[in-house]
């Protein structure tokens, strides 16, 4: 029978859980060692999503909260790319959810207490399920940078949050996308918690003029790599299968 | 599994931040006219309410303060021990004032790993919040079920620490499961 597993994560490619420069991690990271194990059927399964649960405007954040068709304020952008695994295999039917601040750096959330104004036509959330070649596309607006408390006040680079469901919990990913050329990226403690520079660069979307439209919308390309799915074959059949 | 030389690096994790609910549970925070519905509000839609158990708890940081901005995803098999498409996935957010979360689900059954190793009834918890740089993964087990043969329980050598994974049974339908990110009763977290 087929047994599916995943490639091991590499710790130098992942942010350190305890990273004191990022103040919030100090009390929210375990002190004891995590228990390592080979994923079981619990981790090698997960929720699967059908394309029909996605609404037409779910992936267009410029209008998906609009009441009268007015667009959200800000520079319109396309964010697009391919989702693959570590072997380069396209990952189809991956649920991608994104959320972001508005053009002024304010989130539509009861716990965002900043004085910056909300944009009445902007929710900040979107979702998309990748096509058979692993492709996804969002239309949105450029989020603003914003200050936040971290050993005094620091600035977050412009970013969009991404959540992805692969084919199992072992491929589950939650991350953030940054914008090429933003000088705040190299100052960000959340980014710098990742030891490997090459891995940090994976989080930076590249300006993509080929995806820009009629001199109105800027394109950004952001490819995403989920953990590699390994298939090995076992001779013993499972009981009950 | 050994990492092979010609593979790509995986895209790294970043913290979900304190506003994860905008993207994952928008309808629960008042963003009501974008998505038809949120995922995971009811892990088992087709099971009648009187067949469900309630699980409540709080996630605490290292100073004993509730993690108010957490989002928890749960994943489990059904009461027969089978993982089914379209069932078993939950998303839970706490009350932003008290930090307490509560959800209804079915009590999972005993299941077997692919290689036949037994697994006691358990629910996977996947935890993200501000300050959590990589999602924290743990499991909730049930005090009334035997766990000595469980594949993962056996990997936890310290018997005292095993107890951090056991939900406390309050009555027939109600369980309490608190999670401590640090401290004397730090919950066992897993990596895979």
Query: Quick one: pLDDT band at residue B156, thresholds 50, 70, 90?
Result: very high
CA distance B64 to B74: 23
**Residue B59 placed within a domain:** yes
Query: Quick one: pLDDT band at residue B183, thresholds 50, 70, 90?
Result: very high
Of B1, B63, B133, the CB nearest to A5: B1
Q: Examine the pLDDT at A188 and tell me if it is beyond 50.
A: yes
**Residue B8 placed within a domain:** no
CA distance, residue A26 to nearest chain B CA (Å): 8
Number of domains in chain B: 1
Query: Quick one: pLDDT band at residue A241, thresholds 50, 70, 90?
Result: very low
B93-136 pLDDT per residue, tens = 999 999 999 999 999 999 988 778 899 999 999 999 999 999 99
Q: Which residues of A touch B179 (CB under 8 A)?
A: none
CA distance B142 to B70: 23
pLDDT at A231: 64
Alpha carbon distance, N-terminus to C-terminus of chain B: 10
Give the mutation candidate from B4, B5, B6, B13 for the A interface (greatest A CB count, under 10 A). Answer: B13
Domain of B82, in residue numbers: 43-180
Is B152:B119 a contact under the CB 8 Å cutoff? yes
Number of domains in chain A: 1
**Residue B19 placed within a domain:** no
Residue B17: both structure tokens together: 């931040």
**Residue A14 placed within a domain:** yes
Query: Quick one: pLDDT band at residue B86, thresholds 50, 70, 90?
Result: confident
Range B23-42 average pLDDT: 95
CA distance, residue B171 to nearest chain A CA (Å): 27
**Residue B109 placed within a domain:** yes
**Residue A83 placed within a domain:** yes
Range B40-58 average pLDDT: 96
Q: What are the two backbone dihedrals, phi and then psi, of residue B172, each rounded to the nearest 5 degrees?
A: -50, -35
**Residue B17 placed within a domain:** no
**Residue B30 placed within a domain:** no
pLDDT at A4: 67
A107-143 pLDDT per residue, tens = 999 999 999 999 999 999 999 999 999 999 999 999 9
Is A9:A227 a contact under the CB 8 Å cutoff? yes
Query: Quick one: pLDDT band at residue B70, thresholds 50, 70, 90?
Result: very high
Range B151-175 average pLDDT: 95
- Distances from the Cα of B172 to the Cα of B19, B50, B175, angstroms: 35, 11, 8
Range B61-73 average pLDDT: 98
């Amino acid at each position: 029978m087929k047994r599916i597993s995943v490639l091991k994560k590499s710790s130098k490619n992942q942010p350190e859980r305890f990273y004191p420069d990022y103040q919030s991690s100090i009390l929210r990271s375990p002190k004891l060692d995590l228990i390592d194990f080979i994923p079981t059927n619990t981790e090698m399964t997960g929720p699967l999503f059908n394309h029909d649960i996605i609404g037409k405007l779910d992936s267009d954040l410029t209008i998906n909260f609009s009441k009268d068709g007015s667009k959200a304020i800000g520079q319109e952008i396309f964010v697009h790319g391919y989702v693959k695994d570590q072997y380069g295999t396209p990952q189809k039917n991956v649920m991608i959810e994104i959320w972001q601040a508005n053009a002024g750096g304010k989130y539509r959330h009861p716990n965002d207490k900043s004085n910056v104004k909300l944009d009445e036509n902007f929710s900040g959330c979107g979702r998309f399920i990748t096509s058979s070649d692993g492709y996804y596309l969002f239309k949105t607006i450029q989020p603003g940078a914003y200050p936040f408390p971290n050993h005094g006040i620091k600035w977050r680079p412009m970013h969009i949050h991404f959540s992805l469901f692969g084919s199992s919990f072992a491929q589950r990913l939650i991350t953030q996308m940054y914008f090429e050329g933003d000088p705040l990226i190299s100052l960000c403690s959340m980014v710098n918690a990742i030891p490997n520079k090459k891995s940090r660069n994976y989080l930076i979307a590249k300006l993509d003029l080929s995806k820009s439209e009629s001199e109105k919308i800027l394109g950004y390309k952001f490819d995403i790599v989920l953990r590699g799915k390994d298939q090995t074959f076992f001779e013993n059949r499972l009981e009950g299968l | 599994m050994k990492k092979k030389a010609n593979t790509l690096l995986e895209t790294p994790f970043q913290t979900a931040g304190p506003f994860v609910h905008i993207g994952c549970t928008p309808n629960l925070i008042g963003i009501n006219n974008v998505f038809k519905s949120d995922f995971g509000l009811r892990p088992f839609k087709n099971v009648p309410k009187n067949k469900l158990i309630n699980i409540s708890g709080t996630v605490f940081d290292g100073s004993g303060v509730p993690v108010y901005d957490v989002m928890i995803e749960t994943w489990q098999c059904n009461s027969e021990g089978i993982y089914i498409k379209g069932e078993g996935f939950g998303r839970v957010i706490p009350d932003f004032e008290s930090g307490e979360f509560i959800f209804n689900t079915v009590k999972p059954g005993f299941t077997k790993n692919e290689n036949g190793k037994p697994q006691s009834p358990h629910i996977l918890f996947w935890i993200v919040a501000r300050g959590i740089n990589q999602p924290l993964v743990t499991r909730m087990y049930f005090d009334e079920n035997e766990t000595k043969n469980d594949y993962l329980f056996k990997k936890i050598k310290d018997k005292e620490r095993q107890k951090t994974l056991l939900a406390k049974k309050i009555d027939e339908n109600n369980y309490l499961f608190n999670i401590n990110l640090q401290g004397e009763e730090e919950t066992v977290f897993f990596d895979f």
